[in-house]
Structure 1
Amino acid sequence: MAGRRTDLTRATCVLAAAVLQALFGALGATGAIGERVGDVANAHPHPLLPGGTAFLIWNVIYLLCLASAVRQMFPAQRDRDVHRRTGWWLAAAGVLNAAWIAVFTQGWIALSEVVIVCLLVTLAIAWRALAATPARSWSDRLLLHLTVSAYTGWVALAALVGALTTLVSASPSASLTWPSWAAWVVAVGFIALGLVFGRGVLGFALASAWALVWIAAVAHGPLRIAVAAVLAVMAVVLVVGVARRSGRGWLLG
């Protein structure tokens, strides 16, 4: 009985956190709790800041997280080991996401970078936990593995973008050439680590590619060429990985 109560409490917290981050996402996008997230980001331009509609991916992530959280509430799902391994981490991620929006929209850039790094660590732990629990169904693949890996991939790139935003906010006149390339090297490293050591990497790859495409959309010269090269390598890795690793588990969980 105690275990069932704990499972229900955990599932309820995951759902509450998913609702909370979606609510703050909407408030942050409209400027209801401060400046709009997009306006704050655009006020601190740098070479890795994605352009266009890049940040619409947050809406997809929030919807997937909500669907996943609702599914965990079902009696047949609550006591599964996979939810026990990942649930509290996902609840923490939702709270951290909401906190990041609240801080960022107030213009507290450095503090927001600390929060988003904590969010990345939390998501990485949840994604790693999923590697020990292969998917049992397409619902698991879509609402757990793809959701968590995509969330992790996007936040990894967002944390690096945020690092440059923090630098610009602290020193508007600083040269961004070397910091931008350093952040780019780290971004490539993150992507490589995710593809090599992750499980259910499709969401991670798609979210990373989405970020890279929108960085390339506003980049110039060597950076655009570097982005195109990484996208091409990612495509090759996915194709070869599926072919050589009987890839459904690696690709989808």
Structure 2
Amino acid sequence: MTPNRSDRTRQLVVTVSEVACILGTLVGTGVIGTRVAESSGGALSADATLLAPAGPAFSIWSVIYLGLAAYTVWQWFPSVAVRPRVRRTGYLVATSMLLNATWLLVTQQGWIWLSVVVILALAIVLGLILQALAKQPPHGREEQIVLDGTIGLYTGWVSVAAFANVAAAGTSSGLQPPAATWVASAVLLLVIGLAWFISRRTGTRWTVALAMAWGLGWLAFGRLTGEPESALVGVTAVAVALGVLAVTLLGGRRSQARTALA
């Protein structure tokens, strides 16, 4: 099958969106702007809130950005452009890139609550991509890695980052709830519910679970070894990370059991 005009349009949109994403990244890393950790009055730094992961956690972005760049090149291959899953998700992937760039630009302006809206929109778009991908198995190993793998890591990390973003917005606005460590710990428990929901709607996604566990692990490290220090939040983050992995494992076993009975 030969790519048609619609495929070419989609490929161009994805490529332009990837360029915008790269430019946004250059801004967010401080190459042509202010680093994210230093923007918005420092509200998004690794020690700003109880739900902020430690600095090394953000290195996962390098893997995600590499995956998005690989996807942008890969989707230009004629045999790839006509695949149903690529056609179904191309514009959504492009939208996620644009939202990512928008988030970085918004934080540069210090619009912290608007950044919450953007990251929640990004999380929804990524969820829609996973749902679309779940409708049909990947066409070979390379599609599983470049498309499913990249979007899985992207979704898992953004899911954790969204909680941190909301906490940053609240703290920057002067919201200091009583028993803040207990509130933060309770909020973290919601991540297990989110992992369960994703597993139910999109099937077993180990890349999602691993990215979540990565973020939670570094959040725990930050609370147990850095500031603001909180043993309660740190231990809860470890427990939640293990819970996310357990939910994903159980989801995979249920899926295998249903297949065996079919």
Q: TM-score range by the shorter chain?
A: 0.7 to 0.9
Secondary structure class of the residue paired with 1:53 = helix
Find the partner of 1:126 among 129, 147, 150: 129
Secondary structure class of the residue paired with 2:48 = coil
- The 8 Å contact of residues 31 and 37 in structure 1, kept in 2 or not, is answered as no
Equivalent residue, structure 2, for 1:185 = 189
Find the partner of 2:158 among 131, 147, 155: 155
Equivalent residue, structure 2, for 1:19 = 19
Equivalent residue, structure 2, for 1:201 = 205
- The 8 Å contact of residues 51 and 219 in structure 2, kept in 1 or not, is answered as yes
| CA deviation after TM superposition for structure 1 residue 210, in Å | 0.8
Equivalent residue, structure 1, for 2:110 = 107
- The 8 Å contact of residues 168 and 174 in structure 1, kept in 2 or not, is answered as no
| CA deviation after TM superposition for structure 1 residue 168, in Å | 0.8
- The 8 Å contact of residues 141 and 200 in structure 1, kept in 2 or not, is answered as no
1:73-92 C-alpha deviation (Å, 9 max, x unpaired): 11111122111210111111
Cα distance in structure 1, aligned partners of 2:166 and 2:125: 18
AA matched with 2:143 = D
- The 8 Å contact of residues 15 and 69 in structure 1, kept in 2 or not, is answered as yes
Aligned ranges 1:209-224 → 2 under 5 Å:
209-219=213-223, 220-224=230-234
Equivalent residue, structure 1, for 2:226 = none
Q: Size of the alignment, in residue pairs?
A: 245
- Shift in alpha-carbon separation, 1:243–1:180, aligned structure 2, 3 A: closer
| CA deviation after TM superposition for structure 1 residue 24, in Å | 1.2
Aligned ranges 1:20-99 → 2 under 5 Å:
20-30=20-30, 32-33=32-33, 35-39=34-38, 40=42, 41-42=44-45, 45-99=48-102
AA matched with 2:73 = V
| CA deviation after TM superposition for structure 1 residue 124, in Å | 0.7
- Shift in alpha-carbon separation, 1:199–1:147, aligned structure 2, 3 A: farther
- Shift in alpha-carbon separation, 1:185–1:244, aligned structure 2, 3 A: closer
- The 8 Å contact of residues 146 and 200 in structure 1, kept in 2 or not, is answered as no
| CA deviation after TM superposition for structure 1 residue 70, in Å | 1.0
- The 8 Å contact of residues 12 and 73 in structure 1, kept in 2 or not, is answered as no
1:16-65 C-alpha deviation (Å, 9 max, x unpaired): 212321331122111623x3102231287111100131111111111101
Cα RMSD, aligned residues only: 2.3
Which stretch of the first structure deviates more once superposed, 16-25 or 211-220? 16-25
Cα distance in structure 2, aligned partners of 1:185 and 1:200: 20
Identity of aligned residues (%): 33
Gaps of 5+ in 2: 224-229
| CA deviation after TM superposition for structure 1 residue 115, in Å | 0.8
Cα distance in structure 1, aligned partners of 2:80 and 2:176: 53
- Shift in alpha-carbon separation, 1:232–1:78, aligned structure 2, 3 A: same
Cα distance in structure 2, aligned partners of 1:228 and 1:20: 35
Cα distance in structure 1, aligned partners of 2:47 and 2:109: 14
| CA deviation after TM superposition for structure 1 residue 240, in Å | 4.8
AA matched with 1:233 = G
Secondary structure class of the residue paired with 1:30 = coil
Equivalent residue, structure 1, for 2:227 = none
Cα distance in structure 2, aligned partners of 1:206 and 1:43: 20
TM-score for the superposition, normalised by structure 1? 0.88
Gaps of 5+ in 1: none
Secondary structure class of the residue paired with 2:203 = coil
- Shift in alpha-carbon separation, 1:77–1:215, aligned structure 2, 3 A: same
Cα distance in structure 1, aligned partners of 2:150 and 2:46: 30
AA matched with 1:122 = V
- The 8 Å contact of residues 64 and 150 in structure 2, kept in 1 or not, is answered as yes
| CA deviation after TM superposition for structure 1 residue 211, in Å | 0.3
- Shift in alpha-carbon separation, 1:191–1:6, aligned structure 2, 3 A: same
- Shift in alpha-carbon separation, 1:49–1:43, aligned structure 2, 3 A: closer
- The 8 Å contact of residues 154 and 211 in structure 1, kept in 2 or not, is answered as yes
